[in-house]
Structure 1
Amino acid sequence: MQRRTILRGLAAGAVAAPTAALLGPAPAQAATSYYVATTEQVKNKILVFHKNKSWTDANVHWSFSPGGGAWANLSDVKIRSTQKQGWIALMVSSGGRAGIVDIDSEKHTELNDLAWSATPGGNPHAIERIPEKGAVVVASSHGYLTLYAPKSVGDLGSLAKVQTVSLPGAHGVLWDPTYKILWAIGKGKLVHYAVEGSRRNTRLKYYGGSVSLGSNNLGHDLQPDYGNKYKLLCTATDGVYEINTSGGSFTKRKISSETRVKSYVRHSSGEVVSVRADNTGSRTWGSPTVRFSQSPDRKRSGAEFYKARIWTPGFE
C-alpha cells in the first residue's frame, strides 16, 4: 500500500506538473520541462525519461517490460486517463499483442501487471482508447482495425473484440475529442470514423471522406499538435504532413520531405520530438536517437527507438 501511495504521488506530482504545462497556455519556457515515453525494441521496453536528463537506467521515470515472443518489438505507447484507474498506458507490439497497464501500480511494470491484453495479430502498429465508450482500437499493418469494447466503461478487464474494420496498411489511430471522431491512417489516406453505440454494442462507422496522401504513400505515425487542437501530424513514405481540421474541412500541408520518420509529435511549446530510422543496427527501422527541435537530442547506446510520445494523457 505504501509503494502504491508513493507512486500515485509521483504521478500526481512530478508528472502532473509537465502535464499542466502541456494542456494549458504555452509559456515561453514550456519546452524546458516534460517527459517523453518511448518504445525501445532491443531491450523491448517502454521507457520514460525526462527530456533534460541523460537517458540512463538510473533516470528511467517509468517502464514496462513484457519480454519477447508475441510481445516482441513494441511499436506504440499512448498515455490516457480513466476515471476509475487514473493514468494508464496502452501498448502494442509487432509480435501481435496489445495491452493496458495501470501506471500507478509500480514504477517498473511487467506482464503480470497488465490490466488487459489481447492478440489482434497482423503486426499491430498503434492503439487508442475512446473516452466515454471505454473502447480500445488497434491498427494492424496487415490491413485492419480491431475494436474492443467493455461490459461497462470503467472495466478494463472486460474488453472483448466486437468488430474488425478493413483499412489497408493500417498504421496509426488517434481520437479527436473536438469532433468526437476516430482518425486512422493507412496506405494513401487518412480516414475518420464515428463511434456509435455503447458497451459491447459500440461500433466504428465510416461515413465516407478522407484526406489523400497519394496512392503509393504509406501513412505511418499519427499524432497531435499539442499547441493547436485543430492540427494533426502524420508521417508517410515521402515525408511529414500537417492536417488542418479547423471548421471541419480537412486539408493537408506537407511540412517536411524527410523520409523514414517513424514518430513525430509537437509539444505545446512548438518543440518537435521525432524518431527517424537510420537503416543500420539490429533494427533498421529504428534509431538509438530521439530528436528534439529546440533541445539537445537524446541518445541511448545500443537502443533502437521506434516511437516517442509526450508523457501526457491529453489527446490534443
Structure 2
Amino acid sequence: MQVIYPPKPRFRLGQLAAHVVVALIVLVVIGGATRVMEAGLACPDWPLCYGSFLPGSQMNLQVFLEWFHRLDAFFVGIVLIIQFSLSLYWAKFLPMWLPWTYGALTCLVAFQGFLGALTVLQLLPSLIVVLHLAVALTLVAIMSGVTQQLLSPGKSIFPLWLRSLGFLSLFSVIGQSLLGSRVATSWAAQRCLNIGDSCNLLRLHRFSAFPVSLLVILFVIISFTQKDVFLKQWPYFVSITFLIISQIFLGVFSIQLGLSEPGLVIGHQLVACLLVAVISALNFKGNGIEGSSQSLLINESNLETCHG
C-alpha cells in the first residue's frame, strides 16, 4: 500500500519531535511526583545535586526524583537545540515557520530552566511552581502540534469553527490543570480536608472541572457530525473520552482518600498532560497532503515506528 508522506528531512524531524513529546510528558509527570513526594528540595543546590552530577551516598527516592527530573529537562533542552539546528540546516526543505518555532521553543525551555532554578533557590514558591507547570504544558501542546504538522501536513482536518472549539477545549484543560497546581502548591486541599481552612480554592477546582469536562466531551460529540474526520481519527476521540472519564474518577478518588494515595495524584497530573497532548495533536493535524512539491510517495511497509 502506498501513502503520501512528508519529505525525508521533515519526516525525520517529525519522528524526533514525537519522541520529545514523550520526554516532555515524562518531565511533567516526574515533576508532579517530585511535588507529591515532597522532593522538590531533595537537591539543595542547582544545577548540580549535592555538588555533583550524580549524587552517590545521598541518593534515595526523593533525591532520585529531583535528579531525574533535572536530567530529563536537560535531555529535552539538548534535543530541542539539535532540532533547531537541523531546521536551519534543512530550511529549504521545510516550512518557513519551523525554524522560528524551534527557536521560540528553545527559548521557552531556557526560561523553564530558569524557573526550575527559582523553585529550588526560592524554596518552592507556589506561583513560581504554577508558572513552571504552565510553561511545561505549553511546551507539550506546541510540540505535539509541531509533530502533527511535520508528519501530517496540509490543511486542517477540521473546519474553522470546530477547530476553534478544539482550541477552547485545550486552553480550558490547561487552565484547569494550573488551578489544580495552585491548589496543590498552596496546600489548600490538605488544609481544607484536615482543618476546614482555605476551602474556596479547592471548591473552585472541583466545580470548574464540570464545565471543562463538558466542553471537551462536547468537542468530541460535535466531531461526530464530521463523519469523514471521525472515521479516520476515531482513536483520538476515543482516547480523549477515556482520558476525561479517567480524570474525573482520579480526582474524585484522590479527594475521597484525603490525597493519601500518591499514585492517584500523580495519575491525575499524567492524564491532564496526556489530554493536552492529544487534543493539541488533533487540532494541528493536517490532511496529510500538501502538494507534490512538499510530499513524498513511499511504501507504508517502509515506515519506521514513531513511538510518540
Question: Which band: TM-score by shorter chain?
Answer: under 0.3
More helix by share: 2
Give the number of the structure whose residues are more often strand, by fraction.
Answer: 1
Q: Compute the TM-score of the two structures, normalised by the length of structure 1.
A: 0.25
